Amino acid sequence: MSAPQKGRFITLEGGEGAGKSTQLRRLAETLAKTLAARGIDVLTTREPGGSQGAEEIRALLVSGDTGRWGPVTEALLHSAARRDHLERTVWPALEAGRWVVCDRFFDSTMAYQGYGLGLGRERIAALQALALDGFRPDLTLILDIDVQTGLRRAVARAGGEAGGEDRYERMDVGFHERLRHGFLDIAEREPERCAVIDADADADHVQARVWNAVASRLGLALESAS
């Protein structure tokens, strides 16, 4: 199956504790209200995951010991999950004209395995080329936050919500610093696709920044966020 063009695909990226899940839910709700008059449905999904096979792979990646997998193995697992997610969830939804909002996508593999674990851009890009067939998001929102602040938030929320999916959070601070640099470097390389959102504020302020970026980049009325 090749990538369709009918719907829109928005991804949210960022390091641990940046608030992606909260902002994805709020953005999806606002988009649903905004697009309802056009008869357009909004689908939310996530990576790794978003399809049955990809969710099974997710369980292997986000729990267990921090050294459970080598960097190459991790990147291969993420890419396999992504391809299944695209074929079974994302592309059919876009073909049907739906807007899809995804919690993480290929930039996370580039940032986490390419920068954080040191595989480098070239090897990750080669995997992406195979898994994506040239497909890219219409807009990527990168929620940026100081590493220490993000990790404190992640620890504070860990008591039930994460469900043990904290393998990456438990990696060392150096990894998380490289991760943040990776996301910012990705945004600098692709400013036409990426918008960096300052996530060091309360959820309402971050929500407003997210909506302003989406509305201006994708031509939606700003007043629709009210």
Q: Which residues make up each annotated binding site for ATP? A: 14-21
What tens digit of pLDDT does each residue of 107-148 get?
A: 999 999 999 999 999 999 999 999 999 999 999 999 999 999
Note the pLDDT of residue 74. Answer: 94
What tens digit of pLDDT does each residue of 142-182 get?
A: 999 999 999 988 888 765 454 567 888 888 899 999 999 99
Whether 224 shows a pLDDT value over 70: the answer reads no
Sign of the C-alpha dihedral computed for residues 160, 113, 202 and 43 taken in this order:
negative
Instruction: State pTM to two decimals.
Output: 0.91
Note the pLDDT of residue 223. Answer: 41
3-class SS letters over the chain: CCCCCCCCEEEEEECCCCCHHHHHHHHHHHHHHHHHHHCCCEEEEECCCCCHHHHHHHHHHCCCCCCCCCHHHHHHHHHHHHHHHHHHHHHHHHHCCCEEEEECCHHHHHHHHHHHCCCCHHHHHHHHHHHHCCCCCCEEEEEECCHHHHHHHHHHHCCCCCCCCCCCCCCCHHHHHHHHHHHHHHHHHCCCCEEEEECCCCHHHHHHHHHHHHHHHHCCCHHHHC
Which amino acid belongs to residue 188?
E
What tens digit of pLDDT does each residue of 7-32 get?
A: 999 999 999 999 999 999 999 999 99
Structure tokens at 121: 């851009």
The CATH number corresponding to 9-225 among 3.90.580.10, 1.10.3720.10, 3.40.50.2000, 3.40.50.300 equals: 3.40.50.300
Reported confidence tier of residue 226, pLDDT bands at 50, 70, 90: very low
Which of the residue ranges 3-7, 203-207, 217-221 would you say has the lowest mean pLDDT? 3-7
**Where are the chain's structural domains?**
9-225
Q: Which residues make up each annotated binding site? A: 14-21
Contacts 24+ apart (CB under 8 A), 189-195: 190/140, 193/136, 193/137, 193/138, 193/139, 193/140, 194/107, 194/140, 194/141, 194/142, 195/139, 195/140, 195/141, 195/142
Note the pLDDT of residue 155. Answer: 81
Note the pLDDT of residue 72. Answer: 95
Mean pLDDT of the chain: 91
